[in-house]
Chain A
Amino acid sequence: MGKTLFEKVWNAHVVTQIPGGPDVLYIDKHLIHEVTSPQAFTGLEKRGLGLFRTQNTVATADHNVPTKNQHLPIAEPLSKYQVDRLTENCNKFGVTLYGLNHPFQGVVHVIGPELGITLPGMTMVCGDSHTSTHGAFGSIAFGIGTSEVEQVFATQCLMQSKPKTMKIEVNGKLAKGVLSKDIILYIISKISAAGGTGYFVEYCGSAITSLSMEARMTICNMSIEMGARGGIIAPDQTTFDYIKGREFAPKGKQFDEAVEYWNDLYSDHDAKFDAVLSYDAADIEPMITYGTNPGMGIKISGHVPVEADIKEESNKVSFKKSLEYMGLQQGQSLLDKPVNYVFIGSCTNSRIEDLRLVASFVKGKQKAANIHALIVPGSKQVQAQAKREGLDTILADAGFELREPGCSACLGMNEDKVPKGEYCVSTSNRNFEGRQGPGARTFLVSPLTAAAVAISGKVSDVRAMM
């Protein structure tokens, strides 16, 4: 019987199998950042160990950094301490660091792909759940905890039970104004925030293969929001073209050899998945979430569900609790709801294509007076590219400020936060209670929808504004 893409990559990385236990999986690339690594370095030191394969690890500072005046010392003492610890640890253990002000710095899941570090067929981990992003290249990439970060430091391996496999197929053509972000919000709204738990998901179908690499990354990024361990997309010509010429990608003859290998990375036609779902792209509209987990999403033209729509009795409590937190009514439409904050950024939607889309939409328009907008590029390279293309000027003319790279208001950890009770339309990936700051209320959307809201000052259907 044939094998799935996931199984092919997984099997190629099993060092050994433990009877009745997990597999010992070799990890090709390990990305680290300031928040989930310090305790792992301390643990390593306590054991008197160094990194087993230093060259397989790359570090950056992203979660806990300001997005303004990055050339100045970080003002907040705890944040400064944490970022300084990363620098110290990287120096001490010899790890390559793209720290603040380095031209390669940025959100960890943005810099991996753009630097050609992320490659098809590899295994990759990071102490961050959105590591699933890198699966867009046909790699097995997933988030881990700090004890596991320490394991990879010490041995370049992890003990992992093999997840089940799920195939999600989306066929057809996306309508105007509908982006890959809408595809993934749509899927999660169908299967719920726990629907993928225990699975590794392969996305396929014509609506997926016709996407750019950056749009594919947005899809894989949010795999974790349905509980899946990760997402994966078979590499193809689009993938190879994206990788070619990037900083750390194989070059010349080595690249050609790599492509030859990568061409074998696909699920065999007779491969068996543990679950298969399929959707029609024509049914997908711009999406928006109304609740406090990413599974609570609706079409922009739709309505918040009513209690009777919630199938499981036990879900009703959570449903009512989330509407109360969000200040919304059962059955209401979200269109025209006034919003004061717009966040365009995060590892889901802060790449150059996202900024281009936003800039092209707001060009010649003005942001609404009530809107506080944050546009945060995913990396220094994205920021530089945006400047080269004059996107910063277009955005500035429309009343937006392009910040410096970081996780920013995605997680309410650094200084960029949404105030209590305020609504924020956000291109990030989580709408949990307090995610963007204590009491903040998040609507997850695509970058185009976010741009439309920034201009109109209220929840809007971007299709009516194009």
Chain B
Amino acid sequence: MEKFISIQSTIVPLSIEDIDTDQIIPARFLKATSREGFGDNLFRDWRYDENNQAKKDFILNNADFQGKILVAGKNFGCGSSREHAAWAIHDYGFKVVVSSFFADIFKNNALNNGLLPVQVSQSFLNKIFEMVAANKNIELSVSLVDQSITIAGTTFSENFDINDYKKTCLINGYDDIDYLLSLKDKIEQYEKGSKYLSLVK
């Protein structure tokens, strides 16, 4: 997994709530059997019309807004467990998603792919939307080490939560499997004492 330490970037604001994974990557694009290339179809039906023409009013098609940080409304990533959603966002070039609330499975999927979900307060989120509406060039600065997010050049700053284990993984680019594999003996020991497994053996 790619390492993540800190980033400062302009942002792409997507002020819509309850963005579900079917919007992030519609099911008909889930037929691929590799992890690459999903970025082309990120937000497909918001981005393109049925003749595959770019919809001008959608933010990803607006050259004024670019950057490695996606800022979205509350309850981002709800719906399906498809990790393809996290792959699509990462493949498109985003490294961070900021929202005031994330769906659980999406959050795990993002963390497993070096994409950092940063949960901020609703008022901080509103502040970002307000400021970017006035100045499209504002930047956000995110430090994983300090667990802080700042609107660059201002005093608007917040701390965000992430559990220590996941933080270490991201900073070092480790993934869960490496860690779990190191626990093999413990897992085998667990199996010997498992009530459930003894019932169905």
Does B47 touch A at the CB level, under 8 Å?
Answer: no
Assess the B177–A78 pair: CB atoms within 8 A.
no
List 23 A–B pairs whose Cβ atoms lie within 8 Å, in order of A's numbering: A12-B194, A15-B190, A19-B164, A20-B164, A28-B197, A38-B34, A129-B81, A143-B81, A147-B113, A148-B108, A154-B180, A155-B181, A155-B187, A194-B75, A257-B199, A258-B200, A314-B73, A413-B30, A420-B50, A432-B23, A433-B23, A434-B22, A439-B50
Assess the A129–B183 pair: CB atoms within 8 A.
no
Q: In the complex, what residues of A have CB within 8 A of residue B45's CB?
A: 433-434, 438-439
Does A36 touch B at the CB level, under 8 Å?
Answer: yes
Q: Which listed residue, B22, B35, B86, touches A430 by the CB 8 Å rule?
A: B22
A197–B35 Cα distance when bound, in Å, is 27
Does A92 touch B at the CB level, under 8 Å?
Answer: no
Q: Which listed residue, B122, B165, B183, B196, touches A21 by the CB 8 Å rule?
A: B165
Q: In the complex, what residues of B have CB within 8 A of residue A156's CB?
A: 187
Assess the B20–A293 pair: CB atoms within 8 A.
yes
Closest to A84 in B: B33
Assess the B200–A314 pair: CB atoms within 8 A.
no
Assess the A28–B187 pair: CB atoms within 8 A.
no
A314–B50 Cα distance when bound, in Å, is 29
Assess the B104–A432 pair: CB atoms within 8 A.
no
Binding site for A on B (CB under 8 A): 15-18, 20, 22-23, 26-28, 30-35, 45, 50, 73-75, 78-84, 86, 101, 103-105, 108-109, 112-113, 122, 126, 163-166, 175-177, 179-181, 183-184, 186-187, 190-191, 194-197, 199-200
Interface with B: A157-165, A334-342, A368-376, which one? A157-165
Min Cβ gap A49→B in Å is 8
Assess the B179–A317 pair: CB atoms within 8 A.
no
Task: Write out, one digit per residue, whether chain A residues 421-459 have a CB within 8 A of any chain B CB (1) or not (0).
Answer: 000000000101111001100000000000000000000
Q: How many residues of A contact B (CB 8 A)?
A: 79
Of the candidates A19, A42, A146, the one having the most CB atoms from chain B within 10 angstroms of its own CB is A146
Min Cβ gap A137→B in Å is 12
A435–B186 Cα distance when bound, in Å, is 42
Assess the B194–A163 pair: CB atoms within 8 A.
no
A413–B81 Cα distance when bound, in Å, is 15
Assess the A146–B122 pair: CB atoms within 8 A.
no
Assess the A227–B27 pair: CB atoms within 8 A.
no
Binding site for B on A (CB under 8 A): 12-13, 15-16, 18-22, 24, 26, 28, 35-36, 38-39, 42-43, 47, 52, 63-64, 78-79, 81-82, 85, 119, 121-123, 127-129, 131, 143-148, 150-151, 154-159, 161, 163, 193-194, 197-198, 227, 229, 250, 254, 257-258, 261, 293, 314-315, 317-318, 321, 411-413, 420, 430, 432-435, 438-439
Q: In the complex, what residues of A have CB within 8 A of residue B180's CB?
A: 24, 151, 154-155, 157, 159
Q: In the complex, what residues of B have CB within 8 A of residue A22's CB?
A: 163, 165-166
A131–B105 Cα distance when bound, in Å, is 12
Min Cβ gap B132→A in Å is 16
Min Cβ gap A2→B in Å is 19
Of the candidates B18, B105, B175, the one having the most CB atoms from chain A within 10 angstroms of its own CB is B18
Min Cβ gap A46→B in Å is 11
